[in-house]
Structures are given as structure tokens and as C-alpha cells.
């Protein structure tokens, strides 16, 4: 944690958004300066963040499944759609049962706005450019989700069952992140000529 930053959700969101847009131009793993303010996030806010975030990755995955010609990318995308749909269903079931209605907030709105931009790019790009953008964004997205779950959502959750559910889906997000990095690395070796221009390898 970078302590000099002010602690509020907008700072966190700004950091996340910067990191996400950076990832579209470079392979560098963005350093996320997440600044949690878990005191200010309600269970209803958490519900909205989870729902928006999950919905976005499902949407990205569906675009990749229909557009990419790379088998590895398509399989990864299919996995994201399957797993995040399972999480969404479990979340809806839980939230209905404990009577929490999603309530928009700065973070969920920021995520949604960023998602619009990402979808625009995904719809526009083609071929290897598409694959690279998709997988780079998946790495950035899952870094964001892992960090937000650890530092904002879990500490912020008030309902015990909501908290324990978030704890139990964290490994899923972490595995997705490892998997995304694996695909990104192999994709870079296969097709990413531009990644070696700096003379770092070969």
C-alpha cells in the first residue's frame, strides 16, 4: 500500500483505470496502487461492483469466442464465460437470499465506463492485434479484480456470508490471473514481434 495517497474509492478507481489503459499499449505489468477505503463501501455497493465486474468479463469473453482465431485465446475466453457466469449466478442467489440490492457507486460506475471503452476496442481490432489486446486486458482486469477483492470487497463486506463468499471466490480470480499471464506469455512468444524490439530477448 502506498500510504501517501488519500484513502477514497475514487483514488483507487483512478489508479485502476490508469493501469487498465496502460495495459493496452504495453506488456509491462502495471503496478496497481489500490487504496482501499473499505469503511465506505456498503454490501449494496459490493453487490454492484461484483455484478458489473463479472458482467464485463463475460462480455469480453463472448466477443473473443466469436472473433479470435487463436485456439488458446478462444479456450481461455470460454473458460472466463463459464466461470464468471457461475460466480454471477452464485452471487445473485446469495444476494437475493440475504436481501441485498445492488447499489451503484463510484467504483461500479468507473468499471462500467472503462468496460465501454474496452468493448469498443475489442469490436474494432482484428487478428493478432485483437488477441493481444484481449489477453493484455484480461491480465489487467484480473489484477484489478484480485486486488479489489482482497483490499476493498472482503474487508468491506458486512454480511458474514457475503464476506465468506468473497473469500471463497478469490482463488478463482487468482487462478484466472495466473492463467491469463500464462496465455499472455505464450502469445507474446508466438506472435508478438513488437515485444522484442527493445532488444530484451533474442
Partner 1 sequence: MTVGAGRKSEPQSHTVLIRDFKYVPETLTVKTGDTVIWKNEDIVPHTATTRGKGFDSKNIAAGASWKYVANRPGVYSYICTYHPTMKAKLTVK
Q: Which three cell numbers stand for residue 154?
A: 472482503
Query: Nearest distance from residue 95's CB to partner 1, in Å?
Result: 15
Which residues have a Cβ under 8 Å from the Cβ of 100 and sit 6 or more positions away?
43, 44, 47, 159, 162
96 touches partner 1 by CB under 8 A = no
Q: Is the dihedral of CA 53, 48, 110, 113 positive or negative?
A: positive
Instruction: Point out which span in 29-37, 41-49, 145-153, 178-186 binds partner 1 (CB under 8 A).
Output: 178-186
CA–CA dist 117, 21 (Å, integer): 9
172 touches partner 1 by CB under 8 A = yes
Instruction: Point out which span in 29-37, 82-90, 97-105, 145-153 binds partner 1 (CB under 8 A).
Output: 82-90
The mark string for 61-80 relative to partner 1 (x by CB under 8 A, - otherwise) is ------------------x-
Please report, as residue ranges, which positions from 28 to 67 form the binding site for partner 1 (by CB under 8 A): none
Query: Nearest distance from residue 49's CB to partner 1, in Å?
Result: 19
CA–CA dist 103, 197 (Å, integer): 46
Nearer to partner 1, 41 or 80 (CB): 80
Collapse the DSSP code of 8 into the 3-class scheme (helix H, G, I; strand E, B; otherwise coil) and give the result.
coil
How many CA atoms lie within 13 Å of 82's alpha carbon, on the beta-carbon side? 8
Instruction: Point out which span in 32-40, 117-125, 138-146, 166-174 binds partner 1 (CB under 8 A).
Output: 166-174
Fill in the DSSP letter of residue 199.
Answer: S
Asked whether the beta carbons of 159 and 100 are under 8 A apart, the reply is yes
Instruction: Point out which span in 98-106, 110-118, 156-164, 173-181 binds partner 1 (CB under 8 A).
Output: 173-181
**Residues of the shown chain interacting with partner 1 in the complex, contacts defined by CB under 8 A:** 79, 82-83, 86-87, 90, 168-169, 171-172, 174-176, 178-179, 182
Amino acid at each position: 500500500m502506498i500510504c501517501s495517497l488519500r484513502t477514497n474509492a475514487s483514488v483507487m478507481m483512478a489508479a485502476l483505470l490508469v493501469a487498465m489503459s496502460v495495459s493496452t499499449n504495453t506488456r509491462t505489468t502495471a503496478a496497481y496502487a489500490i487504496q482501499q477505503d473499505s469503511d465506505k463501501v456498503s454490501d449494496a455497493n459490493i453487490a454492484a461492483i461484483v455484478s458489473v465486474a463479472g458482467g464485463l468479463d463475460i462480455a469480453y469473453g463472448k466477443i473473443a469466442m466469436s472473433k479470435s482465431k487463436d485456439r488458446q485465446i478462444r479456450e481461455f475466453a470460454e473458460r472466463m464465460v463459464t466461470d464468471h457466469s457461475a460466480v454471477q449466478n452464485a452471487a445473485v442467489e446469495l444476494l437475493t437470499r440475504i436481501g441485498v440490492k445492488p447499489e451503484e457507486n463510484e467504483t461500479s460506475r468507473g468499471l462500467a465506463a472503462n468496460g465501454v471503452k474496452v468493448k469498443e476496442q475489442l469490436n474494432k481490432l482484428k487478428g493478432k492485434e485483437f488477441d493481444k489486446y484481449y489477453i493484455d486486458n484480461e491480465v489487467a482486469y484480473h489484477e484489478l479484480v484480485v486486488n479489489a477483492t482482497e483490499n476493498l470487497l472482503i474487508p468491506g463486506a458486512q454480511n458474514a456470508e457475503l464476506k465468506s463468499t468473497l473469500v471463497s471466490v478469490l482463488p478463482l480470480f487468482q487462478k484466472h490471473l495466473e492463467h491469463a499471464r500464462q496465455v499472455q506469455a505464450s502469445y507474446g512468444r508466438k506472435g508478438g514481434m513488437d515485444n522484442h524490439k527493445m532488444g530484451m530477448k533474442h
